[in-house]
A and B are shown apart, each in its own frame.
Chain A
Amino acid sequence: MSPQAIVDGLVAGSMIGLGAIGVTLTYSILRFANFAHGEFIAWGAYFALALVSVLGIGMEPLGPFSFGWLLPLAAIVAAVLAGGLAILLDRLLFSSFRARGSATIIMVIASFGASMALRALLEFVFTSKPVYFTRELQIAVRFGGGLRATPDQILMLATTVVLVVAIHLLLTRTAIGRQMRAVSENPVLARVAGVDVGKVVRTVWFLGGALAAAAGVMAGLLVQIRPYMGFDLLLPLFAAAILGGIGSVPGAILGGIVVGLCEALAVQTIGAEWRAAAAFAVLTAVLVLRPQGLFGKARR
């Protein structure tokens, strides 16, 4: 594997990992695989894009980067909006299923329908034409040993590290984090112990949506923005979340990086057209060899 493929894999893997954190949190706390999670990625990217193109200022390249001061601000606003979108979707759809005790699988079907509708709505508003935050060209920095990365890529990797550490601290060191873990273990017992389950559910959706938006803005900056960008990431997200072990944030990010590296390896050895099959191969291997994932607890 060439050093360049490692850089590409790490960058793709950190985007997958950020999305997978949301998948793994909703899965462990709300107990269903949310097929609409990819749409938060795409919606996040389009929120930021809409903001940047409406304001039309602040995108002159800043230092070595290809974008201006507005993009980080737009990314924060987009993260808040995508978090709100996730909470809204839960309020409109999933909360009713929880209230009436519907089967997990009904929620999975509903999330599948919601994902189709949300994505088609993006296509309706923005059409399916790929768009970009910026058309600036970037010159890669050489690190020796054939390793090259653009300043944008390095910044994205650093941002991912910061976000993951922040989420990890939130989950392990704060009251809401402890409450989230309590609900994940046993919602009834958590409620008896005085945990505000509704607040925990809203927090989970908000975090998942906001992190997905962060991944979406990164993907938009480094690759391109299209309505299908989130849906195409869905399989890698699931593979990463399952590989890492459902409920584990470090597992999700590590799983994302493994999937990203496998994709880069597949592109190098087999060909770029088979990239999407790499995630399926990882998923199959995990399910055969270690279905509870790297950091997951073994359960029935």
Chain B
Amino acid sequence: MIDLLGYGAFFLTIALSYAIICLGLNVQWGQAGLFNVGVAGFVAIGAYVSGLLTTPALAGRVGGFSLPIPIGWAAAMVAGAVLSYALGWLTIRLRSDYLAITTFGFAVTAQLAALNLERLTGGPFGMSFIPRPFSAFAADPLRFGLFNLGLVALVLLAMFLAVERLSSSPFGRVLRAIREDETAAVSLGKDAKHFRLKAFALGGALMALGGAVQAHFIGFIAPDNYLPLLTFQVWTMLIVGGSGNNLGAVVGAVVVWALWAVSASAIGALVPADQQARGASLQIVLIGVALCVILLLRPRGLIGERRTISRFADGRGDTRWRRLRRPDR
């Protein structure tokens, strides 16, 4: 029973840290319509920045300032915001999928840097001794787990309320207006570029915070944690939960992480040991197919965005292709 409770706390803590990342993605995609394929890169930046600032000094490694954890988390957010602002600035005036390609390249490069800047990041061996919150209780795993769960839940709640408030504020309304029809919003005097950049930076900050929270909960990070698979998981979470809805982002994170954990342990139990790697790839196939099927059949996800535009307005899309629709559909 105690074991189960402990595992539940561990599972939920990880799921909620994903929810923070997913919330950031929702600000970028769900609210502003900006496509980030480099989620893993921003999460990695957050984890490594916070790790560098809070770990104790180590011979042969740059960094290690033993600063308090909250400072590490704040710095992670700043780094995430600055980097996403810079990438956004580079591409925001161009076609929408240039941003996707650039963020993808950023994530590849960030992972490469984590792997190769050995004196800064520990290279392939990763960075250990990242201070864990409530480490005083580490002797009592249950209490330690519950306190950490509470902390992550609190951070998530604070971020959730802030983002909710933001989406119902004039800022959020302008963002949605730009997403739905940029020309119309610009003609009303809204500086679309400026608003989008802010949303992108905010989302990047949240992703970095999620990364930092995860890093401090586990206490160890390595470049392998930040592969494109992570980006893919977070995207699936948002699409499953329903993009545009902050609650959907949180629910999607917990549901998809639960499915992921259950299918992983099912494969662990059912598939013979020498075929485990194959089983793991089958897991990715299933999630990939599920993502495409949801996009095809239920693009609004489990919860979906509350409709705030006229019900006569059609969705969005490249009008040149839309007019090609056969009239019978």
Contact = CB atoms under 8 A, between A and B. Distances in A.
Nearest to A241: B101
A242 B94 CA distance: 12
B311 interface: no
Interface in A102-118: 102-106, 108-110, 112-118
Nearest to B291: A113
Contact of A116 (B287, B318, B321): B287
Contact of B285 (A104, A121, A187, A287): A121
B201 to A, nearest CB: 18
For B277, B288, B329, which residue has the most chain A Cβ atoms within 10 angstroms? Answer: B288
B100 A103 contact: no
A96 B281 contact: no
The interface size bin for chain B is 35 or more
A86 B117 CA distance: 38
B292 A110 contact: yes
B35 A284 contact: no
A113 B105 contact: no
Nearest to A93: B292
A105 B295 contact: no
B37 interface: yes
B306 interface: no
A278 to B, nearest CB: 10
A109 B30 CA distance: 13
Given A106-B299, A121-B281, A101 B232 contact: no
B317 interface: yes
Interface string B278-292: 100111110111011
A105 B282 contact: no
A112 B288 CA distance: 8
Given A101-B317, A105-B96, A280-B106, A124 B90 contact: no
Contact of B289 (A100, A103, A117, A280): A117
B98 A104 contact: no
For A97, A124, A239, A271, which residue has the most chain B Cβ atoms within 10 angstroms? Answer: A124
A112 B100 CA distance: 11
A contact patch SS: helix
The interface size bin for chain A is 35 or more
Contacts of B283: 120
Contact of A105 (B91, B100, B115, B323): B100
A273 B102 contact: no
Contacts of B232: 112-113, 116
Interface string A226-246: 000001001100110010000
A65 interface: no
Interface string A170-188: 0000000000000000111
B58 to A, nearest CB: 22
Interface of B: 29, 33, 35, 37, 90-91, 93-94, 96-98, 100-102, 104-106, 108-109, 112-113, 115-116, 228-229, 232, 235-236, 239, 277-278, 281-285, 287-289, 291-292, 295-296, 299, 314-326, 329
Given A33-B101, A113-B291, 11 more contacts: A96-B296, A98-B321, A102-B299, A103-B316, A104-B96, A116-B228, A116-B229, A117-B289, A273-B115, A276-B108, A277-B108
30 contacts: A35-B104, A98-B324, A99-B325, A101-B319, A102-B299, A103-B317, A105-B35, A105-B96, A105-B97, A109-B35, A109-B291, A110-B295, A113-B295, A116-B232, A117-B284, A117-B289, A117-B292, A123-B277, A123-B278, A124-B278, A124-B282, A187-B320, A188-B320, A191-B324, A238-B104, A271-B116, A273-B116, A274-B116, A279-B105, A287-B90
